[in-house]
Chains A and B, each alone.
Chain A
Amino acid sequence: MKQSVKKKLWLMYSILVILITTIGLSPLVIPTFVFNPKLFGVPYTLWMGFILTSLLVILTFLGSKVHPGEDNSKS
């Protein structure tokens, strides 16, 4: 993969992480005293939080594939 493409993708994933973080801390995910709609009996904030956390880990995986930095030598 070209370095310029890697840089663009890395930037895109970084923006997505910031976006997910913002959503995760907004009333969209943490509304006060709201636990509906439930998913298989699991309250709203918990299942949404679980999905967002999983997305962050997936973005970490994708980010590691396109991170523009290189170092293969020992520190």
Chain B
Amino acid sequence: MIKWLIILGIIYLIVLFAMALISRRNNKSSKDFIFAGSNIGLLLGFLSFAATLFSTFTLMGMPDFFRVHGIGAWMFLAFSDGVMVFFILFFGYHLRKKVLEKGFNGISSLLQDCYGNKWAGYVYFIGIFIFLIPYASIQIRGIAIFLSSAFPEFIPIWGWSLAMVTLILIYSETGGLKAIMFADVFQGILLLVIVWIIAVTCINHFGGISNLFAQVEQTNAKLLSVPGPKGLFTFQFLLSSLLVIVLIPVSQPQLSTRLVIMKNLKTTHRLAIAVGCFAIVIILSTVFIGLYGAVLYPDHNTADYLTQVLLFDQNGIVAALAIIGLMAAALSTTDSQLFALGTELRSLIPAKDDSLLKTRLGIIFFAIAALVFANLADDRLVLLARVSFAGTAMSAPLILTGILSKNKPPSAIILITAVAILVFLLSLLGFIPSKIGVLRLDLVLLAFLTLFCVSSILIKNKNIKSQNI
């Protein structure tokens, strides 16, 4: 495996840096660096969106989720993604319409324009900073733990984390968003091929899909239904997960930006269809990898199970490809998140010139923050990712109201959003309960924010009408 890892690793790095250098040569202005020329075609846009969305959390977290919590994980992610792609048709159109009207430097500044209030951008930015940095960190940490477990006496966890962050910084600072998107295409294809090679190996081990499920039934029948052996997949969990996942393209700037920079609306809509197909194909593979682990390694911890299924149970070249694929998955999400944070920071600080210094420094700062947090983070990939989705989703009603309103929405929405983010954060830190009665707090906050935004707009429109009369 080591021989293959060295060969494939060198090829991977050469391709990555070649793409960064090509992108650097094609970048004629700061807009090209930040928004990749804003004329992205279907293949580049869709694979970049998919690779950014399906991260380590999919490749490592989802098999483990199926192994521990059972088939309800399909409803948690794949079904929610199905609803999300339809929502992209609606949101993509309105976002692009607003951008044509107001221009685009980032979601933060777009919100400032929509609300006519600087704080709209600041609250949004603080929200994504608080919840995206931990998400970026767990990608890095997930892979670092896996690599450290696979090569126990080679490099410690922090060493792997540092190597990955350095790699991200080099190619994203060299080639900008286009380099990241090219890398995403390469990484997305790699990810898809590898997970399916491993999934087929897992199915073949049992002699077919029916036999695999029959074995799971004998091992732990609760894995074949909801709420699963640990009772995780309750109606409330699945509903709140669906809502926060559907809102990911709204609330996470690395994905919203990709909807804006597509060539036209038709291409944006085709992107949604392609991402839906990609979601089904990639998540389906993780069902088999996860349930294989449920039968063979039910009591292993996450890192040991993943090392076993992705490395030791595969032949040398597949295991080497799995390591490269895992790194690719982590890099393709993390680089986009850090770059998006840098872009958002730049959009908040009015630039007097075309300088990229603020963006570059921002990316370095956020990368260091992610690296520090990676050494403190928890190991439960999927649940931490879900917390990140829920945290950023708190800004979604603010964004949707800003984008859908013809008039400037009331500033009270900004204040209420800030309070909701704070309340959610306090519940995560354990200062306040995570449930109100029997209801999950994230669900209650999202429902309250939505009702508040809708009623504020209705009242404001009524007042405008009565003033006109």
A and B: bona fide binding partners: yes
Query: Using a CB–CB distance below 8 Å, which chain A residues touch chain B?
Result: 13-14, 17, 21, 24-25, 29-35, 38, 40-46, 49-50, 52-57, 59-61, 63-64, 67, 69-75
Q: Do the beta carbons of A57 and B270 come within 8 Å of each other?
A: no
- In the complex, B211 has a CB within 8 A of chain A: yes
Q: Do the beta carbons of A45 and B83 come within 8 Å of each other?
A: no
Query: Main secondary structure on chain B at its contact with chain A?
Result: helix
Closest residue of chain A to B81 (Cβ to Cβ) is A53
Interface string of B82-100 (1 = CB under 8 A from A): 1101101110011011011
Q: How far is B217's CA from A26's CA once the two chains are assembled, in angstroms?
A: 24
Q: Do the beta carbons of A75 and B104 come within 8 Å of each other?
A: yes
Contacts of A46 in B (CB 8 A): 71, 74, 224, 287
Q: Do the beta carbons of B79 and A60 come within 8 Å of each other?
A: no
Closest residue of chain B to A33 (Cβ to Cβ) is B225
| Least distance between A34 CB and chain B CB atoms (Å) | 5
Of listed A17, A40, A61, residue having the most chain B CB within 10 A: A61
Query: Using a CB–CB distance below 8 Å, which chain B residues touch chain A?
Result: 38-39, 71-72, 74-75, 78-79, 81-83, 85-86, 88-90, 93-94, 96-97, 99-100, 104, 208-214, 217, 221-222, 224-227, 233, 235, 238-239, 242, 260-266, 269-270, 272-273, 276-277, 279-280, 284, 287
Q: Do the beta carbons of A60 and B89 come within 8 Å of each other?
A: yes
Q: Do the beta carbons of A53 and B79 come within 8 Å of each other?
A: yes
Closest residue of chain A to B222 (Cβ to Cβ) is A33
Q: How far is B369's CA from A25's CA once the two chains are assembled, in angstroms?
A: 38
Contacts of B72 in A (CB 8 A): 30, 45
Contacts of A69 in B (CB 8 A): 93-94, 97, 265
A17 with B86: in contact, given A60-B272, A64-B272, A69-B93 (CB under 8 Å)?
A: yes
| Least distance between A63 CB and chain B CB atoms (Å) | 5
Q: Do the beta carbons of B235 and A21 come within 8 Å of each other?
A: no
A53 with B261: in contact, given A30-B226, A67-B269 (CB under 8 Å)?
A: no
Contacts of B94 in A (CB 8 A): 69
| Least distance between B123 CB and chain A CB atoms (Å) | 24
| Least distance between B7 CB and chain A CB atoms (Å) | 37
Contact for B280 among A32, A38, A42, A57, CB less than 8 A: A57
Q: Do the beta carbons of B82 and A56 come within 8 Å of each other?
A: yes
Task: Provide 8 A-B residue pairs closer than 8 Å at the C-beta atoms, listed in order of the A residue.
Answer: A17-B83, A40-B210, A43-B224, A57-B273, A57-B280, A60-B88, A71-B265, A75-B100
Contact for B75 among A14, A49, A72, CB less than 8 A: A49
Closest 5 CB pairs of A and B: A41-B210, A56-B82, A57-B276, A64-B269, A35-B224
Closest residue of chain B to A41 (Cβ to Cβ) is B210
Q: Do the beta carbons of B264 and A57 come within 8 Å of each other?
A: no
Contacts of A54 in B (CB 8 A): 82, 280
Closest residue of chain B to A55 (Cβ to Cβ) is B82
Q: How far is B224's CA from A25's CA once the two chains are assembled, in angstroms?
A: 16
| Least distance between A57 CB and chain B CB atoms (Å) | 4
Q: Do the beta carbons of A35 and B89 come within 8 Å of each other?
A: no
Contacts of B75 in A (CB 8 A): 24-25, 29-30, 45, 49
Q: Do the beta carbons of A72 and B265 come within 8 Å of each other?
A: yes
| Least distance between A51 CB and chain B CB atoms (Å) | 10
| Least distance between B292 CB and chain A CB atoms (Å) | 15
A42 with B209: in contact, given A70-B265, A72-B265 (CB under 8 Å)?
A: yes
| Least distance between A39 CB and chain B CB atoms (Å) | 10
Contacts of A61 in B (CB 8 A): 273
Q: How far is B212's CA from A70's CA once the two chains are assembled, in angstroms?
A: 48
Contact for A52 among B38, B79, B89, B226, CB less than 8 A: B79
Contacts of B235 in A (CB 8 A): 25, 30
Q: Do the beta carbons of B82 and A73 come within 8 Å of each other?
A: no
Q: Do the beta carbons of A43 and B225 come within 8 Å of each other?
A: yes
Given A30-B235, A71-B96, 10 extra CB contacts under 8 A: A25-B242, A30-B238, A41-B209, A49-B74, A52-B82, A54-B280, A60-B85, A64-B89, A74-B264, A75-B96
Contacts of A55 in B (CB 8 A): 82
Contacts of B210 in A (CB 8 A): 40-42
Q: Do the beta carbons of B86 and A34 come within 8 Å of each other?
A: no
Q: How far is B273's CA from A13's CA once the two chains are assembled, in angstroms?
A: 14
Q: How far is B239's CA from A38's CA once the two chains are assembled, in angstroms?
A: 25
Q: How far is B88's CA from A63's CA once the two chains are assembled, in angstroms?
A: 11
Q: Do the beta carbons of A21 and B264 come within 8 Å of each other?
A: no
